[in-house]
Amino acid sequence: MDIPYIVEERADTGLNNVKLGIWLFLASEASYVLLRLMAVEWPLGVDVLNVPLGAVNTAVLIGSSVTMVMAYASLKMDSLDRYKWWMSWTIGLALLFMVIKGFEYNHEFDIGNFPWTSTYLAIYFTMTGLHALHIIGGVIVNSYFLGPGAKMWETNKAQFTNRVEAAGLYWHFVDLVWIFLFPVLYLL
Amino acid sequence: MPDVTTAEHAAKAGHGHEHGHEEQSFWRQYIFSVDHKVIGIQYAITGLLFLLFGFGLMMLMRWQIAYPGAPIPLIGGLLGDERAPGGIMLPEFYNQLGAMHGTIMVFLGVVPLAVGGFGNFVLPLQIGAPDMAFPKLNMASYWSFFLGGVVMFASFFVPGGAANSGWTSYAPLSVFATTGQTLWLVGMIFLITSSLLGSVNFIVTTIQLRAPGLSFMRLPFFVWAQLVTAFLLLLAFPPLEAAGVLQLMDRVAGTSFFLPSGLVYADAPWEASGGGSVLLWQHLFWFLAHPEVYVLILPAMGIVAEILANNTRKPVWGYRVLVYSVVFLGFMSFVVWAPHMFLTGMGTTMSSFFQTTTMIISIPSVVILSALFITLYGGSIRFTVPMLFALAFLPMFGIGGLTGLPLGLSAPDIHLHDTYYVIGHFHYVVAPGTLMALFGGIYYWFPKATGRKMSDLLGRIHFWGSFVAINVVFMPMLYQGTAGMNRRMYDGGEQYQMNADVLWLNEVISIGAWVLAFFQLFFIYNFFNSIKRGEKVGANPWQATTIEWQAPSPPPHGNFAAPPVAYRGPYEYSVPGAPNDFVMQGDPDSAAQPAKV
């Protein structure tokens, strides 16, 4: 027996396995973030952080979400070349985000702001750090689907498209977390 | 895809070649396997080994409690000077043993066995699926668990030894603790990642891969119990992972998430920015750890329901009520964490709220237990070995549950908090309760996994010896605790005058623990001996009804020769007019029984 509903949807649930799985995974991540936020006291405002840089980064990340959608849409339109073009942009923008983040961290360290300086900075570094880890994870997965993983296109188009969709859901989630973090950490 | 060699490829790609398992190497087939049955057995054996190890830690502690300051016989000299110079246990080592006993038993023993082991092995078979929905993820889940176990085990050998702040790792004590605590946190992050991946897999498998005709109300109760458990693991564990990362930051990066301002440690002000909250850790920890109690108990209830139906030759009484209760229990378990914190000064409003929710959650538990008891009524009971364990579960879990009520009420909790009563209470739930059910489950599904039965005589010796000994261990603890004896005492409570009357029980309990260990030898021998030499059995040795008994024993890769179909509910025993006293779920013969829900 083979495992059913890898690509096609099960009639009575209206889902395929991958989509249900990635949504459950994201649900658990959401409860993780929520509880963490409920938990901490909010010590102070924002003079410490570089709001323009953060805003640029927000734009970069939203941009990468858009290109991710374009990559998925290209597969749906049966064009692997366009998919590779948009996926490269997605990865490139994610890396740009990390570079800008690196400059921000570097600046904070230069002016003597470290995780142990205050609880506000501890929260800033922990949350953006964990977010960055998620970005790195996403870049690894997306790079796999751009490179060796794309071979699946020749053998099983539907399943490959599915995989890219799941990666996309994850990517939008990571993006969404940033859209949440940016106002909370930088603006409030 | 012309040249598929590995079976999981075949399974994933969704085409016919899945007889590739003969071509697999030893490593692919037994070590890095993606077959849910192999992974389930890996989980179960690793879990059993950790249970034995955790029990060993406890036997060392029981020596110190029964005979404080006396050198440990036999192995005392092997422990080394930093743990037990001259064989006499140091208080620091006692604390490590206590913290690691709890951690290992819960996170590396019972949960991997009950969820990872039974869930992985039985659940896909019971719903008629060829495998889990994500076989590779399943393997990743096991190996993440394994790594977590290795890290935990290794922490005994770092300077300062393993974590020693209790299994709850309360801040700020844990923030100041030795290196072992850092490894504890890293280990926990691996374990939580593992259970997260596992729970996603369980939920998707249950929802998507049910056999045709197997509607939700035809699922065996075991599957329901595992499904609710998976949701608890999915939603309750991540907050502890978050808390673990925060504590790791406190310890490694010098942050102050759990450190208040103006903290003095070892007569000197602690160098930290402060401003954190100590109670925050407790909230985050218990937000996981109370649902965790239900993670420990629900799979056991599922196993017991299967065994009871099979051995009473009756349908489980009140199937729908059982299902609604277990779902309600799952929801409620997220709002009952704070009775563990009644004495922390979180306030009376919080206390009243949580004592109300705690009383409410006892209702579905009592309903489930009552339904299982009523199942016995009027049955023609077969006293097989699994049935003995399942029968023992009922009163044992009953005692465990009822002794919990006084702890859930804020007034009696003032007296009972942090005494041996608490230890007695939760051990009655987890040890004589869950563990009895898990042993029953091992005897019950062993023929499915190996094609052979375990020895009946050795099983009975194991049961009766364990059943008596385990009560000798835990019953006196309730008595000691009611008398006011504190837990976590390195000298077993000798230093307090008020304990004088109940101190003699320490030795009784310790001897009970060693006797309990002795009777496990019968199980260990029986387990390994039966794999090679047990009595050979066919596909359905217990004359059971659920779908897993349709597959050959042991089931091949892919499980079923033809996709099974469910025609009726899971417990069609003693159907009036049917030729046999059981009608299998996948039996299409409508003459045997008109299909009904």
Q: Where are the domains of chain A?
A: 17-187
Instruction: Report how far residue B342's alpha carbon sits from residue B506's, in angstroms, rounded to the nearest whole number.
Output: 28
CA distance to partner chain B, nearest, from residue A89 (Å): 28
CB atoms inside a 10 Å sphere around CB B343: 12
Q: Which residues contact B159 (CB under 8 A, 6 or more apart)?
A: B178, B179
Using 70 as the pLDDT threshold, list the residues of chain A that sit under it: 1, 29-47, 188
Domain B277-523 has CATH 1.20.210.10: yes
Q: How many CB pairs under 8 A join A and B?
A: 138
Contact A7 B256 (CB under 8 A): no
In this prediction, residues B443-466 reach a mean pLDDT of 96
d(CA B124, CA B207): 11
The three-state secondary structure class of B265 is strand
Higher pLDDT, B278 or B570: B570
Domain range B36-227, CATH class: mainly alpha
For chain B, the average pLDDT equals 90
Of the candidates B23, B229, B30, B34, the one whose C-alpha atom is nearest the C-alpha of residue B130 is B34
Rounded to 5 degrees, φ, ψ at B419 are -105, 175
Nearest CA in chain A to B282: A39
Contacts of residue B225, Cβ cutoff 8 Å, sequence gap at least 6: B298, B299, B301, B302, B305, B326
Per-residue model confidence as pLDDT tens digits over B472-500: 999 999 999 999 999 989 998 889 999 99
Rounded Cα–Cα distance for residues B587 and A4 (Å): 22
pLDDT at residue B149 greater than cutoff 60: yes
How far apart are alpha carbons B135 and B113 in whole angstroms? 19
Both tokens assigned to A10: 């099960």
Beta strand pairing status for B535-536 and B452-453? Answer: antiparallel
Distant-in-sequence, close-in-space partners of B264: CB < 8 Å, separation ≥ 6: B270
Cβ distance B208 to A17 less than 8 Å, yes or no, reads yes
The CATH classification of domain A17-187, taken from the options 3.20.20.370, 1.20.120.80, 3.40.50.300, 1.10.132.20? 1.20.120.80
pLDDT at residue number B13: 40
Q: Provide ipTM, 2 decimals.
A: 0.86
B23 pLDDT higher than 90: no
Q: Cβ A159–B13 below 8 Å, yes or no?
A: yes
| Nearest-angstrom CA–CA distance, B597 and B595 | 7
Q: Which residue among A20, A35, A118 places its CB closest to the CB of B239?
A: A35
Handedness of CA B349, B414, B101, B80 (dihedral sign): positive
Question: Is B464 or A186 the better-scoring residue by pLDDT?
Answer: B464
- Among B15, B131, B203, the residue with its CB nearest the CB of A24 is B203
pLDDT digits (tens, 9 = 90+) for B240-286: 888 898 899 999 988 888 888 888 888 888 877 777 788 888 988 99
Residue of B nearest to A115 (CA): B255
Query: Residue B573 burial (CB < 10 Å; 0-12/13-18/19+)?
Result: buried
- Kindly determine whether residue B280 and residue A40, on different chains, have CB atoms separated by under 8 Å: yes
Residues of chain B with CATH 1.20.210.10: 36-227, 277-523
Are B115 and B295 spatial neighbours (Cβ–Cβ below 8 Å)? yes
Q: Return the structure tokens found at B251.
A: 């310890």
Chain A CB contacts of B194 under 8 Å are: none
